[in-house]
Amino acid sequence: MKTNIKLIYSRSLKGPLVLTFVLLALPFLIPSPYFLGMMVLIGFYTIVGTGLSMLMGYAGQISLGHAAFYGVGAYTSAILTAKMGMPALAGIAAGALVALIIAYIVGVPTLKLTEHYLSLATLGFGVIVFIFFKQLKGLTGGLDGFFGIPPLEIFGFEFTTDFAYYYLVWPLAICSILFARNVIQSRVGRALRSIHGSETASSALGVNTQKYKLQVFMMSAVYAAVAGSLYAHYVTFISPQLFEAMASIHFLIMVIIGGMASIWGGMVGAAVFVFLSEGLKEVIPLVMSNASGEFEIVFFGVLLVALLIYMPEGLVPALSKTWKNLRRKKDSGGQNSRNAHMELEDEKEVQVSMVGGGER
């Protein structure tokens, strides 16, 4: 138990610093535009997944509507920059603010629900937002999509290449993870974990469960909206199909793959999801020439079931446990060898003393 508590409240920056160094060096080690494009996409999904990990893994509140917040951020920033000529940073900030307000309005009634009722409510919210994106053609362009989104520009520098966008998105993703880790290690984080353990017991102990659930829901919505805004300026074209219910399910799959109760699970799950998706696009046509993209969903469905059976905590906790067990075995092996060496030395000393006594 002491080890688990120490792990939860560890504020060591060794891991994040090593990860940051690797990510900064990666474009020079693998200078492929295709690879950089995938890494940028993983960066967007990491931000969304980190917010979802806090909501689902720590507060225990399941959401199937986060693609709606992703789309709110994207469309708000797109409309303000393309149609009103506002700076991109202002559009991103406005997208986050709009998502925050919507999350508050939606969260107050829906977070009173629990388990599958909450899941259905958030799914319904996502469907409603998708319909708005599709029907408000004057603002969103409808199913034809929204064209002409300007590239992101900060202090006169335009992010028009994958290389430039990589060094924008990943520092933001790492900062979002570190901020989430600080929240989890704070009093708010302890309250969220108590709600996840037992909401009834938390309420009995005086924890304002509705307040904390609403706060983490709003925070995760802002994470999704910021990622959506960045995505809109990256691709410069968006359509409602990008933000339908299936996108929310993809986010859910990423978080479950990486590990809901791990703050790094969103990043690992996003990486696994993107790389597997791209790999399946190459492999499936070789196996089944007439196959469509639906087979990817089948594959991820099977993978999800297998993970829930054999690795219910996700990849990050499972790999962490494996690493600890290996280190424990290594340490115990070293200790055993030291003990055997000491026993051998003791035997030698006894023999020497016996020989010396015989000579006297």
The 10s digit of each residue's pLDDT in 75-107 is: 999 999 999 989 999 999 999 999 999 999 999
pLDDT tens by residue, 164-179: 999 999 999 999 999 9
* Residue for token pair 């998105």: 169
CA dihedral 19→22→24→30, nearest 10 degrees, is -140
| pLDDT reported for residue 314 | 85
| pLDDT reported for residue 349 | 56
| pLDDT reported for residue 338 | 56
CB 216 within 8 A of CB 57: no
Most confident of 193-207, 240-254, 314-328: 240-254
| pLDDT reported for residue 239 | 93
Residue 261 has pLDDT above 70, yes or no: yes
How many residues are given for the chain? 360
3-class SS at 335?
helix
Euclidean distance between CA atoms 149 and 130, whole angstroms? 20
Residue 196 has pLDDT above 90, yes or no: no
| pLDDT reported for residue 293 | 60
| pLDDT reported for residue 344 | 56
CB 66 within 8 A of CB 221: yes
Euclidean distance between CA atoms 295 and 316, whole angstroms? 26
* Residue for token pair 């909206």: 225
Q: How confident is the model at residue 339 (pLDDT cuts 50, 70, 90)?
A: low
Residue 332 has pLDDT above 80, yes or no: no
Q: How confident is the model at residue 347 (pLDDT cuts 50, 70, 90)?
A: low
Tokens of 164: 């430039």
State the average pLDDT over residues 310-327: 82
| Single pTM value for the model | 0.85
Where is pLDDT greater, at 7 or 12? 12
Q: Which positions ≥6 away from 76 have C-beta within 8 Å?
A: 91, 94, 95, 98, 99, 225, 229
H runs (alpha helix) in the chain? 2-8, 14-29, 33-52, 66-82, 88-110, 115-135, 137-140, 162-184, 187-197, 199-204, 209-235, 245-258, 265-287, 294-310, 315-359
Please compute, for residue 34, the number of CA atoms within 13 A of its CA located in the half-sphere on the CB side. 3
